[in-house]
Amino acid sequence: SPAGLLLLTSFLLHMEEGHASPTRLVCDSRLIQKYIREAKDMENTVGQCQALPALGCPAVLPLVNFSLQQWKCKSNESKRREILCDLALLVGAVAGAQGQVTQECGARQLGQLYRHANSFLLLLQTFGWEAGPWEPGCSPHSVEQIHVTSIFLTYRKLVQGKLSFFFHNLAKDSCK
Protein backbone atom coordinates (compact mmCIF):
# COMPACT_ATOMS: atom_id res chain seq x y z
CA SER A 1 0.00 0.00 0.00
CA PRO A 2 1.23 3.53 -0.71
CA ALA A 3 0.66 4.43 2.94
CA GLY A 4 2.90 1.60 4.11
CA LEU A 5 5.54 2.55 1.63
CA LEU A 6 5.32 6.18 2.67
CA LEU A 7 5.62 5.19 6.30
CA LEU A 8 8.70 3.14 5.62
CA THR A 9 10.23 5.82 3.42
CA SER A 10 9.72 8.53 6.00
CA PHE A 11 10.97 6.08 8.58
CA LEU A 12 14.15 5.41 6.59
CA LEU A 13 14.68 9.10 5.98
CA HIS A 14 14.37 9.77 9.70
CA MET A 15 16.91 7.11 10.39
CA GLU A 16 19.29 8.54 7.82
CA GLU A 17 19.11 11.87 9.59
CA GLY A 18 19.55 10.16 12.91
CA HIS A 19 16.38 11.70 14.38
CA ALA A 20 14.54 8.49 15.09
CA SER A 21 15.75 5.04 15.92
CA PRO A 22 14.16 1.90 14.51
CA THR A 23 12.30 1.63 17.82
CA ARG A 24 9.00 2.78 16.36
CA LEU A 25 8.91 -0.25 14.06
CA VAL A 26 10.11 -2.55 16.80
CA CYS A 27 8.05 -1.19 19.69
CA ASP A 28 4.75 -0.74 17.89
CA SER A 29 3.68 -4.34 17.36
CA ARG A 30 0.82 -3.16 15.14
CA LEU A 31 3.34 -2.31 12.46
CA ILE A 32 4.74 -5.83 12.06
CA GLN A 33 1.14 -7.14 12.07
CA LYS A 34 0.43 -4.69 9.25
CA TYR A 35 3.40 -6.01 7.24
CA ILE A 36 2.20 -9.59 7.78
CA ARG A 37 -1.27 -8.60 6.54
CA GLU A 38 0.24 -6.90 3.49
CA ALA A 39 2.35 -9.99 2.75
CA LYS A 40 -0.79 -12.16 2.92
CA ASP A 41 -2.70 -9.73 0.72
CA MET A 42 0.03 -9.75 -1.93
CA GLU A 43 0.14 -13.55 -1.80
CA ASN A 44 -3.65 -13.79 -2.19
CA THR A 45 -3.75 -11.24 -5.00
CA VAL A 46 -1.01 -12.90 -7.02
CA GLY A 47 -2.79 -16.23 -6.49
CA GLN A 48 -5.78 -14.74 -8.30
CA CYS A 49 -3.79 -13.38 -11.26
CA GLN A 50 -4.87 -15.17 -14.42
CA ALA A 51 -2.44 -17.17 -16.55
CA LEU A 52 0.75 -16.54 -14.63
CA PRO A 53 3.56 -18.17 -16.59
CA ALA A 54 5.95 -20.65 -15.01
CA LEU A 55 9.40 -19.08 -14.77
CA GLY A 56 11.79 -20.18 -17.52
CA CYS A 57 14.70 -19.31 -15.24
CA PRO A 58 13.76 -20.65 -11.81
CA ALA A 59 13.73 -18.30 -8.86
CA VAL A 60 16.32 -19.20 -6.23
CA LEU A 61 14.54 -18.71 -2.92
CA PRO A 62 15.81 -18.87 0.65
CA LEU A 63 14.43 -21.68 2.81
CA VAL A 64 12.94 -19.58 5.58
CA ASN A 65 11.56 -22.24 7.90
CA PHE A 66 13.38 -22.29 11.20
CA SER A 67 13.43 -23.98 14.58
CA LEU A 68 12.32 -21.69 17.37
CA GLN A 69 14.64 -23.44 19.82
CA GLN A 70 17.70 -22.78 17.66
CA TRP A 71 16.51 -19.26 16.89
CA LYS A 72 16.27 -18.38 20.59
CA CYS A 73 19.92 -19.32 21.07
CA LYS A 74 21.23 -16.91 18.44
CA SER A 75 22.42 -13.38 19.10
CA ASN A 76 20.44 -10.48 17.66
CA GLU A 77 23.30 -9.79 15.30
CA SER A 78 23.37 -13.31 13.89
CA LYS A 79 19.56 -13.26 13.53
CA ARG A 80 19.83 -9.98 11.68
CA ARG A 81 22.52 -11.33 9.36
CA GLU A 82 20.51 -14.44 8.65
CA ILE A 83 17.40 -12.42 7.78
CA LEU A 84 19.52 -10.09 5.62
CA CYS A 85 20.82 -13.13 3.74
CA ASP A 86 17.29 -14.40 3.19
CA LEU A 87 16.08 -10.97 2.09
CA ALA A 88 19.01 -10.43 -0.28
CA LEU A 89 18.29 -13.75 -2.00
CA LEU A 90 14.57 -13.00 -2.08
CA VAL A 91 15.04 -9.52 -3.58
CA GLY A 92 17.26 -11.07 -6.25
CA ALA A 93 14.60 -13.69 -7.00
CA VAL A 94 11.92 -11.02 -7.32
CA ALA A 95 14.11 -8.97 -9.66
CA GLY A 96 14.76 -12.08 -11.78
CA ALA A 97 11.05 -12.92 -11.95
CA GLN A 98 10.20 -9.32 -12.86
CA GLY A 99 12.23 -9.73 -16.03
CA GLN A 100 10.14 -12.76 -16.99
CA VAL A 101 6.59 -11.80 -16.02
CA THR A 102 5.03 -9.39 -18.48
CA GLN A 103 1.44 -10.19 -17.46
CA GLU A 104 0.13 -7.04 -15.78
CA CYS A 105 -1.39 -8.45 -12.60
CA GLY A 106 1.70 -10.51 -11.78
CA ALA A 107 4.10 -7.75 -12.73
CA ARG A 108 2.29 -5.26 -10.48
CA GLN A 109 2.42 -7.62 -7.48
CA LEU A 110 6.10 -8.38 -8.08
CA GLY A 111 6.83 -4.64 -8.14
CA GLN A 112 5.09 -4.23 -4.80
CA LEU A 113 6.89 -7.23 -3.32
CA TYR A 114 10.23 -5.88 -4.54
CA ARG A 115 9.63 -2.56 -2.78
CA HIS A 116 8.54 -4.20 0.48
CA ALA A 117 11.38 -6.72 0.63
CA ASN A 118 13.94 -4.12 -0.38
CA SER A 119 12.69 -1.73 2.31
CA PHE A 120 13.24 -4.40 4.95
CA LEU A 121 16.67 -5.08 3.49
CA LEU A 122 17.64 -1.38 3.76
CA LEU A 123 16.08 -1.15 7.19
CA LEU A 124 17.94 -4.11 8.66
CA GLN A 125 21.21 -2.82 7.25
CA THR A 126 20.80 0.27 9.43
CA PHE A 127 20.40 -1.91 12.54
CA GLY A 128 24.08 -2.90 12.72
CA TRP A 129 25.33 -3.62 16.21
CA GLU A 130 28.77 -4.66 15.14
CA ALA A 131 31.16 -2.33 13.41
CA GLY A 132 31.66 -2.69 9.71
CA PRO A 133 29.26 -2.64 6.79
CA TRP A 134 27.05 -5.60 5.99
CA GLU A 135 28.42 -7.82 3.24
CA PRO A 136 26.03 -10.17 1.50
CA GLY A 137 28.70 -12.87 1.52
CA CYS A 138 26.33 -15.42 2.93
CA SER A 139 24.88 -18.57 1.47
CA PRO A 140 21.45 -19.27 2.91
CA HIS A 141 19.90 -22.67 2.24
CA SER A 142 17.99 -22.23 -0.96
CA VAL A 143 15.55 -23.95 -3.27
CA GLU A 144 14.66 -23.38 -6.93
CA GLN A 145 11.04 -22.67 -7.78
CA ILE A 146 9.37 -22.06 -11.12
CA HIS A 147 6.10 -20.71 -9.71
CA VAL A 148 5.78 -16.99 -9.13
CA THR A 149 3.42 -17.65 -6.22
CA SER A 150 6.19 -19.43 -4.27
CA ILE A 151 8.15 -16.15 -4.13
CA PHE A 152 5.22 -14.52 -2.33
CA LEU A 153 4.80 -17.52 -0.04
CA THR A 154 8.48 -17.31 0.93
CA TYR A 155 8.20 -13.60 1.68
CA ARG A 156 5.09 -14.11 3.84
CA LYS A 157 6.77 -16.92 5.79
CA LEU A 158 9.85 -14.76 6.33
CA VAL A 159 7.85 -11.77 7.61
CA GLN A 160 5.54 -13.94 9.70
CA GLY A 161 8.40 -16.02 11.05
CA LYS A 162 11.96 -14.79 11.46
CA LEU A 163 11.20 -11.08 11.04
CA SER A 164 8.33 -10.89 13.50
CA PHE A 165 10.25 -12.96 16.09
CA PHE A 166 13.29 -10.77 15.53
CA PHE A 167 11.28 -7.59 16.14
CA HIS A 168 9.62 -9.22 19.12
CA ASN A 169 13.04 -9.96 20.66
CA LEU A 170 14.27 -6.44 19.99
CA ALA A 171 11.12 -5.06 21.56
CA LYS A 172 11.81 -6.97 24.76
CA ASP A 173 15.28 -5.42 24.91
CA SER A 174 14.59 -1.88 23.78
CA CYS A 175 10.98 -0.97 24.60
CA LYS A 176 10.90 -0.48 28.30
In the chain, where the domains are located: 24-128+137-174
- Cβ–Cβ under 8 Å, residues 152 and 68: no
Q: How far is CA 56 from CA 95, 116, 143, in A?
A: 14, 24, 15
Which residues, listed in sequence order, are joined to residue 144 by a DSSP beta bridge? 60
State the Cα angle at 132 between 139 and 96, rounded to 5°: 35
Tens digits of residue pLDDT in 35-84: 899 999 999 999 999 888 899 999 999 999 989 899 989 988 888 889 99
How would residue 22 be classed by pLDDT, with cut points 50, 70 and 90?
low
At position 122, the amino acid (one-letter code) is: L
User: What is the distance, to the nearest Å, from the Cα of residue 24 to the centroid of all Cα atoms in its chain?
Assistant: 18
Q: Which CATH number applies to 24-128+137-174? A: 1.20.1250.10
**Dist. CA 83–CA 64, nearest whole Å:** 9
Tens digits of residue pLDDT in 79-128: 888 999 999 999 999 999 999 998 899 999 999 999 999 988 888 887 76
User: What is the distance, to the nearest Å, from the Cα of residue 39 to the centroid of all Cα atoms in its chain?
Assistant: 9
- Cβ–Cβ under 8 Å, residues 149 and 48: no
